[in-house]
Copies of this chain bind each other. A is one copy, B any other.
């Protein structure tokens, strides 16, 4: 799937997406052209989907974070789905098997704001809100 070189390239870019091709190449003991070619292929294959930035929500005033499980009432599924998409404080949402239909991550600046948002969904779905007390595991890559 990925050979060892590819893995190292992905790891290095995951740690700092802004390093130059030249430095990337040096760190994995390849020439610049080779590293460039490998990077291009990783992008082409879709392994690397994007180069992006990790933002710390705390610094933007989002002091509260919650995981919200959402089970739409009969006939409300698509309306609930639309609502989740429209509320930008929801930053992630998965559709899952089991009793809960959706599991979403919510960032808010206060309990009041959280209450308001949950209320907007409340008449169209059963919700269960678990407030995040700590991040045991900060986002990482699965084994390459």
Contact = CB atoms under 8 A, between A and B. Distances in A.
B142 A95 contact: no
Contacts of A33: none
Copies per complex? 2
B49 A94 contact: no
A53 B52 contact: yes
A136 B55 contact: no
Interface string A101-141: 01110010000000000000000000011111111111111
A93 interface: yes
Interface of A: 1-2, 10, 13-18, 45-62, 65-67, 81, 84-85, 88-98, 100, 102-104, 107, 128-144
